[in-house]
Amino acid sequence: MRPQPETCATHTIARGDTLWDIAAKNLGDPTKWTALYEASQSVIEAAARTYGHATSDHGNLIFPGTRLSVPGGTCHPETRQPAPTAQQSAQIAQQNRVEHIPASCSKPLMIGVRGSGQTPEVEGHPEIPRDLGPEIGGVYENLAPLGVQVYGLPYPAKKVEEIAADSAEKLFFDLVRNGGVTVNGVALTAAEVVKNGFPIPDSVREGAANLEADLLAQVRACHGQNQKIVLAGYSQGNWVIRVALDAFKRDHPDEWPDIVSSISGIGLVADPYNPLARPSLPAELDKGQTIRACLPDDAVCNDPFTVPTGDVNCIITFSILCPHVRYGTEPTVPRSEKSAILEISSSLQLGLLSPKIPGAVGVPSNPLQ
């Protein structure tokens, strides 16, 4: 390991920061991000471990509240600020998490994940909590009378229209329209997608990493206190949920039983799992109060090769006529005369109100399924 440069200058990481951006701002050259990493390697790696990761992947995973040393300055040893200890780094990370996810273990918690193209705030509806989106905001409004805490997961939620093909909707629409898709610069035929599934887009990966870290922090903080957690996602947000839970089971086997016993319900609105968008939910969680709501003519959450209706309204104009944006009003016939939002809400309410069954999600008696 190279010796760390002598420095007094520091930079405290904020949400959304990257070492590339920090180097551009503080050193005038984004390519000097490796110098930032080398100057604060021990602190960066300690923060990564606090959030449940084995390593920071050479600085690709950094977390708000971590204080970096900026190389290039000089100072006397007695005035140089020491790097935070592992305990201090853990406290910083916990404080940052509490700013975004409720810390109380005595009340049930709803974690919502918005769909692609949805901004953190819902324009015209300031009452909807940040990062939920209108559909999951509607689910929360129905659960709020139960005293549920709410947390909207922050992640990019890349737009449908972006050329990078970094959203669930665009992947499916391109598959139908063009007979193939391009993800992260790699062109795939429809046959390859059917055989192997879609590669997981970067937007989904980032959201899943955030959700995995937050779930880990929550179950560790509330271990043994029997907190009930419900997850609700819309469109791409459901892909985030599935990837996060699959990764959690793989990465944290010791805490996985806590996740299984804590989650009382999962509501998936317009879930792009058909099953071209893998992985599926872990089997332990895909039962009881886990419920999917999909409109019959929505190609995103049905087989896109066999659902021809609505394509023009979704691909070209993405208007209100597109079935993928009608989940707040349209009933999910023939299964239910309720809108998808009400159907999901009713299922999650049952999970929250039912007695906990160790090792199970909710109760296996959902009348809506």
Asked if residue 272 lies in contact with residue 173, where contact means CB atoms within 8 angstroms, the answer is: no
Query: So what's the pLDDT on residue 54?
Result: 64
Residue 192, CA atoms < 13 Å, CB-side half-sphere: 11
Q: How confident is the model at residue 122 (pLDDT cuts 50, 70, 90)?
A: confident
Give backbone dihedrals phi and psi of 269, rounded to 5 degrees, phi first.
-95, 120
User: How far is it, in rounded angstroms, from Cα 80 to Cα 10?
Assistant: 10
Which residue(s) pair with 110 in the sheet?
150, 230
Higher pLDDT, 98 or 17: 17
Q: What is d(CA 226, CA 260) in angstroms, rounded to the nearest whole number?
A: 11
Tokens of 73: 């300055």
Q: What is the mean pLDDT of residues 277-299?
A: 84
| Chain position carrying tokens 């023009």 | 312
Contact 236, 272 (CB under 8 A): yes
Residues 48-60 pLDDT 10s: 766 656 677 778 7
Containing 205, the helix (H) or strand (E) segment is helix 202-221
- Helix pair 202-221, 236-251: axis angle to 10 deg: 50
pLDDT score for 361: 43
Band of the pLDDT at 246, cuts 50, 70, 90? very high
Helix, strand or coil, per DSSP, at residue 185: coil
Residue where the block lists tokens 């600020």: 81
Q: Report whether 323 contacts 314 (CB < 8 A).
A: yes
In this structure, what token pair is assigned to residue 41?
């390697």
As a residue count, the chain comes to 369
Residue 277 CB partners (closer than 8 Å, separation 6+): 168, 171, 197, 198, 239
pLDDT for position 5: 42
Confidence bin at 265 (pLDDT 50/70/90): very high
* pLDDT tens readout for residues 83-95: 445 455 445 444 4
**What tokens appear for 121 in the block?**
């705030």
Note whether 232 and 344 are within 8 A (CB). Answer: yes
